[in-house]
Structure formats: C-alpha cells, structure tokens
Chains A and B, each alone.
Chain A
Amino acid sequence: MPTYNLKINGKLQSVEADSDTPLLWVLRDHVDLVGTKFGCGIAQCGACTVHVNGNATKSCSTSVANLQGMEITTIEGLSENGDHPVQEAWKEIDVPQCGYCQAGQIMTASAFLDNNPNPTKSDIRTAMQGNICRCASYNSIEKAIEVAANKLS
C-alpha cells in the first residue's frame, strides 16, 4: 500500500492506504479524527464536509491520492479551543438535536462565511443546500449563520 503525507489540521501525518481510499475513512479510521461523519458516501448529504485549502469539500468522495500537499482542516482543527465564531454561534443558538450532521454543517458554514462574510438569507439557504439534517434543525442553522456573520463582521 502506498504512503501519503497529508497535512491535517496543521500537522503532517503519514498514512498508508489504498489510493482510492476516501479522505473520510483516512480521517476516521487511520488518524482517529472521528468528528468528520459518514452519511451517504456519495457527496449528497454533507455530513463529511471538511476544508481542503479552505474550500468546503465532501471528504467521502475525495480520494487520499489527490490530497498530498494540500491543507486539510477538519472540525477538530477549525479552532484551537472550539471557539470559532461559527462554533460559538452554534452554541448560542443551541442548534444541535441529535448532533450527527452538525460538524459537516459547521464546516460548510465556516467556509461559506470566509467567502461571503455578509450573506443575505437567500445566500445562506442556497449555500447550505448540500447538508442534510433529518432532525430538521434548519431554522436554527440559518439563525446561527446570521449570528456568526455578525460576529465575524
């Protein structure tokens, strides 16, 4: 099996895996970062969202072989103390119900706000289309993103 040198949350990690292994499973099974969740495996639900070079990326459909030299950020590395404005907003609004999809929601929202720090409601609703929440915490997510945007501006 080939070895890949990945930069995850600012740390260099050497991983031995088949070239087709999705980043999701490298994170969860190889380097023990289980905050990134498995939901569908086909980039439809967003539970596995991470940042690759700052862009929201579905890790279930991104092979490890394509990631050498890139900056990978997971929910565990979004902030040092769990105090990224988006995380703070999530706590303030008390967004999670079961909580399973929320890491993906937070990663999508934080990358989105990096590119669009003053979004309209409609921008938010469009940007979050790729993340499913069966508990349907959408109203709270929407509100939390507005709160986070205010914190960032």
Chain B
Amino acid sequence: MKTSNKINFSRRSFLQTSTLASGGMLIGFNLFTACKEDVKPPVDLSLLDYNDFNAFIKISDEGKVTIFSPNPEIGQGVKTSMPMLIAEELDVDWNDVHVAQGVLDTKNYSRQVAGGSQSLRHGWEPLRQTGATTRQMLVNAAAAKWGVLPSECKTKNGVITNSNGDKLGYGEVVKEAALLEVPEDVTLKDVKDFTIIGKGKSNVDIDEIVTGKPLFGLDYKTEGMLYASVLRPPAFGQKLTSFDDTSAKGVNGVTDVIKFGDKVAVLATSTWSAMKGKKALKAEWNQDSKAESTAFHDEKLLGILNGNEFDTRRKDGDVKKAFSEADTVLERTYESPFLPHNCMEPMNFFANVTSNKIELVGPIQTPAGTAGRVAKMLGRDVSEVSLEMTRMGGGFGRRLYGDFAMEAAEVSHLAKKPVKVVFSREDDMAAGIYRPAIKYRIAASIKDGKLTGYHLKEAAINSNMYGLIPNFFPAGAIENYQVDTGNYKSNITTGAWRAPYTNFLASAEQSFFDELAEQMNVDRIKLHRDLLQKVKGTTDEQIQYSPERLEGVMDLALEKSNWGKTTEGVYQGFAVYYCHNTHVAEVADIEMENGYPVVKKVTVAVDCGIVVNPLGANNQVVGGVIDGIGHTMYGELTFNEGIPQSNNFNSYQLIRMHQTPQVDVHFVENNLAPTGLGEPTLPPIGGAVANAIYAATGQRLLKQPYMKHYEPKKIIG
C-alpha cells in the first residue's frame, strides 16, 4: 500500500504560524481528527506566546526544533513516537529535536487522552501532515529568497538546498516562513523514504530518567505546598460517623486536619508527617451498604451464569437449535478475580484552588475530563482551571479516573492552601478502581465433527464488555453464535484495567478453543485456520479483525517458536487474538520445575502495521506479555466484609525478574497505517500459558490466578 498521498485542506482548519519575540517560528495547528475544526486564530498573532498558543512545533533561529507532544505519557512511549511522525515529514535530524509535554489545551487539541492504545492510530495522518506542511512553508520561504521554484528545492536534516548549490538551514528562513500563506496541499513521504519512522529511537526522557530528574507527579512541588494524606473508609460501603484528630494534630509538621465527605485529610509540611498524622487519626465508621466478600461475588456471578437474564450483544443464527441438534456440547466456566492496578507511582495530584484560579498538576490519563469535573464540583467555570500533565509512573487505566485530582482540589479549596494529595501504597491498593471480577461460561456444539454453535455468557461485577468486543474473533466464523452479558452492581469501585474485558476474555476463549479442538479431534491450529477461512470476504461491518492478518501472525509465531518441534521437557501453548486494532499470536514455552509450571520463553508475532518506533514497540510488546503472565499466574485481590485482603507488596504478588521468561518479538512487515501496542499483547498470554500447562500436566486451569492451583508455594519474591 502506498501511503504517499495528496490531501486538500480547507484553509480554516489549518496551520497558524507566528514569529516569536525570542526568535524563531511557532506553528500550531488544528486539523483533522487531532484538532477541532472550529478553532480561530487569535486576532493578533503578535500577542501569541508559547504558553497560550500551545503549538506543536517551535523552530528557533538556530534551527533547533521543539515538538510538543499533546498526549499523556504513561510509559506507552507516545511522547517519543508521536513527535517522530512530525519530525519525519518536517525532515529534520532527530538529534536536533527536543520533545516537551504539551499542557491541557482543549482549544487546540482534541483527544488528549491516553487510553485504548489509540494515540498513534489517531495521530498517524494529522501529525505527518503538520510536519509536511511546515516543511513546505520553510521551502517556500527559501525558494522566494533564492528566486527559484519550490519544486527545485530539496530538504534533508533541516537544511534546504537547490540545484544551484545554495543552502539554507531551517533556522535561517523561519522568520520569512512564518509570514507566508499556508500551503493548501502537501505531499507526504513514501514509506521507503522514511528516515525516522521505523528506526528505533530511545525514550525522549531517558537522560532525565536515569539521572533521577523530577519528572513525575510525585516529584512536583511549589513554594508553600502542603502534603496531604487522606483517611478513607477501610471497607467498601462504609461511611464516616466521627473522628478524633487530637493525636494527629500533635504530630510534628501537621498543619491542618480537614474532613471532606467520608474522608479526612491530614495536611503537613512533609509527606512523612502527613502519613504519620493520618495513622494517628481515630475514626468510627458505619456500614451503609452491604459489606461484600469474595465468596458472595462468586455466588452472584455464578447465579447470573446459571440464570436467564442477559443482554444479548451479538446473535447469529440459532444457538439454541444448534445445541439441541448437537452430537456433543462442550461447556466450560472460566473465572477471574479483581485486580488492582498497582502503578509503581502511587496516585497523587497537586491542586491550588484560589478565588480566581484552579491550578492542577499531576499524572492523569484524562486531563480534559478531570478539569471539567473539578470545575463542576467546585461550582467554578472550567476556564479558570489550568492542568499541567506530568510524566506518569504507570497508568494501566487507573489514571483515567481523576478521583485523586478531585480529592486534591477539594482539600485545597477547603484548606485555602496549595496541596498535594499523596496515596500510600496501602491507600492505592485499598482505594482502587479495580479490574472487576468476571466469569465466562462458554459452550460449543459439535455435529458430525463440525463446530456448529458457540455461546458465550459474561457475568461481571458492575459492567460488561463494551463497544465491538462481542464482534471480535470468533464472531463471524461460526454460523450459530451468541454473546450474552449480565452484571451484578457492587459497591466496590471498578474500571478500566490494561485491555479492559479482553484481558481475561481472550484467555478464556483461547483456552476453550484448545480444549474444543481436542474434543473435535482436530489440530488446534487447523481449527483456527478453518474458522478464519469462513470470515474471509465478510460483508459484516461489525467484524473489525482481519482473518488474513490473524493468519499472518499465526504463521509468524508458529515458525519463530518452532511450534511442535521443541525438545523434551518443553511444553508449548498457543493463542491468537485481535483487540485494540492490533493482531497478535503468542506461543508460550513452559517447563515443569519441582512440580510447578515455569514460563521459560514466549514467542510473539504482532501485526500493528508500520512499526513507528521499533525500540519502543519492542518494549511495549515484551512488557504486555510479562505483565500478563504476572497477573494470570499470581494476581488476585479478594475481599472480606468489604475490606481488600491485600494492600501492599508483601501480600500482593507482582511478577519479579526471576519469574520472567525471555520474550522473543517478531513484527509482521507491511506498510499499513500503524495501530497501538500498549494493550494488545497482554490478553492472549493467559490462554497461551494455560494451554502450555495443559500440554505439560494434562490439567485444564479454568480459574486465575493459575499459581493458586499449586499452593502452598511461597510466591512473594
């Protein structure tokens, strides 16, 4: 596929440029999906400054380029990969590019969100267009200076040349370029001409990270800022009845104790004092709604699966009929627990609420939504809110929810002081917005050796699979197919967790297919191939996955893993999946050591289109796989009477280095538009591991975490 193309833009939705008082050129834009259409340039361009324009690109007189990355960075690498798209088309030397984090600016950016692995997919066209248009303006300025046609000029590494041998650096023409008309169409590079896209670039913050520079929310401080440690209800469903702060106020450094809602904040001049102050609080709680336990959740979810009340999310043919006519029906129930996010940087946020402004600073995946909610809570206009995004010590979905920013704003508002709320690890794990516990019941009907029906039921805490998930593989491949969902509304807070729903759905389905193939007496790979064959040429627009691309990743993973040809004592499990617009196949190799399954190696094949930054992409793929192994093997948060039974890393197991396999990554090479990688390699791994464990032990593990089947083993590192 050729990605080089010409696109006409309307003038109104295009670049705005300005010369800077400090020298150089500033370019902002509002085009296509990355920016809103109705933005007008400020009336007087000369009044523009760096802060209120929020441009994507700044070029100095010396030719140095600053690119502002608009999207929140949570470790998924967009602060490196999105600017790479601009720099590629701008045709500059990546070494001359400095990347800075853009602040929240709903006027100039849209979708300033980190979530759903969508940043690169949405930015692919508009960010390259921005770079290309800017480059064209610089070329036009140089051509005018030389009295030649722009088409006679070439660019390379930030230098413009013409056939007469003249040379001008971008910095030498920025002043003129900024005053030029914005070109109406530009040509994007052909894939073969890429010099930055597809070449591994290090994380742009790497020097700061390895030397410990302040980058994260927890590192942010201002003059006079107080630290707040917040006491929250110890069990879900509890309300605060009374509290005694006498001892807390006696702790050195404690300045204020503030009740807000059912919480009490202890403010102090240092984090340690605030934490000590919180521990010294005495509070009484009242159970206002049911104190739920894990056994109760199990009962409720199984009750849903055994019942008849479901929302039908996709229905093809007649599953009931297929099952009644079947020779054999295979039915299995798969179970997963609640999971906390456990970002290594505990939740925190800074707020300074004064009579004329609301300053918010911190790690957040949803800056715009959070600013709006804070304004609404305080009865203020959102225009009074400024929000600065810091680098995030992990997100995984937890930082989509601005609860911690709301707490900081409310406490600052009541205390009339600048405040940073800091969660302890115990606060972070016990006041979570968890991956909900989910159970799947999957049944398949077999008639004359053929798969005739597939019925998947989901029972989940609070909410169900969203969007197009019911149309993921194997939808479209089986004549009689139905997906039903039901949920139990709990007072335990739940939300998105890396690859929501698919993080366990893929595991359950891919385990099921392994067993189904065995039941049908066919090779598991052949079963997948036969099913994919049926989806080819589908006209069903709900089906987003490509059977050809799934075949492609299967072929690559099977080849690279030496599928079926491993040495004695090594057992393999296979899984293939599509989610977040990316196709992935994985083979897990396990060995049994002292009776325990140990994942030694994982081979991953990924089709994410063009790999923008191979270094960052590799990190995401490997990270997703190992994170997935950690959680399917060890992750579990249980509840007793509304109280989470783990609240720190001595009672909750995250995977550690000695438990990790080597992950071998392979990308399918093609010229298709890139898709995201923050999530899609995680979901299938649970299935691949379960299938490998079956190959090794003959035991089908249906309930996560898998290592629980092997107790008593000391699993904390």
Contact = CB atoms under 8 A, between A and B. Distances in A.
B404 to A, nearest CB: 15
Contact of B650 (A21, A30, A44, A106): A44
Given A28-B271, A39-B425, A129-B656, A99 B209 contact: yes
Contacts of B214: 34-35
Interface of A: 1, 17-18, 21-22, 25, 28-30, 32-42, 44-45, 47, 74-76, 78, 82, 87, 90-91, 94, 96-103, 106, 124-126, 128-142
15 contacts: A34-B221, A41-B424, A42-B650, A45-B344, A96-B205, A97-B620, A98-B344, A98-B391, A128-B657, A134-B394, A134-B654, A136-B623, A138-B655, A138-B657, A142-B657
Nearest to A34: B219
Contacts of B343: 98, 100, 134
Contacts of B213: 35
Contact of B393 (A32, A44, A99, A140): A99
Contact of A137 (B206, B253, B619): B619
A91 B206 contact: yes
Contacts of A45: 344, 425, 649
B77 interface: yes
Nearest to B658: A125
Contacts of B660: 136, 138-139
A42 B649 contact: yes
B627 A136 contact: yes
A99 B396 CA distance: 14
Contacts of B616: 94
A102 B660 CA distance: 17
Most chain B C-beta atoms within 10 Å of own C-beta, residue among A38, A82, A101, A125: A38
Contacts of A42: 425, 648-650
B272 A133 contact: no
B370 interface: no
Contact of A91 (B207, B344, B658): B207
Nearest to A79: B211
A60 B540 CA distance: 56
A30 B211 contact: no
Contacts of A76: 211-212
Contacts of B76: 97
B202 interface: yes
Most chain A C-beta atoms within 10 Å of own C-beta, residue among B212, B391, B395, B662: B212
Nearest to A128: B657
B399 to A, nearest CB: 11
B512 interface: no
Interface string B484-512: 00000000000000000000000000000
B392 interface: yes
Interface residues of B, number: 68
B393 A35 contact: no
B411 interface: no
Contacts of A18: 252-253, 272-273, 276
Contacts of A129: 656-658, 717
Contacts of A29: 227, 270-272
B619 A132 contact: no
A35 B271 contact: no
A98 B207 contact: no
Interface in B628-671: 630, 648-650, 654-658, 660, 662-663
A98 B392 contact: yes
B74 A25 contact: no
A87 B210 CA distance: 6
A105 B616 CA distance: 19
A94 B200 contact: yes
A74 B212 CA distance: 9
A75 B214 CA distance: 12
B623 A82 contact: no
Most chain A C-beta atoms within 10 Å of own C-beta, residue among B276, B344, B622, B648: B344
Contacts of A142: 657
B210 A136 contact: no
B439 to A, nearest CB: 25
Given A40-B425, A137-B622, 9 more contacts: A22-B272, A44-B650, A90-B206, A94-B200, A94-B202, A97-B77, A100-B394, A136-B625, A136-B655
Nearest to B268: A29
Contacts of B271: 25, 28-29, 38
B345 interface: yes
A82 B211 contact: yes
Nearest to A139: B622
Contacts of B221: 32, 34
Nearest to A21: B272
Contact of A36 (B212, B649, B657): B212
A114 B200 CA distance: 31
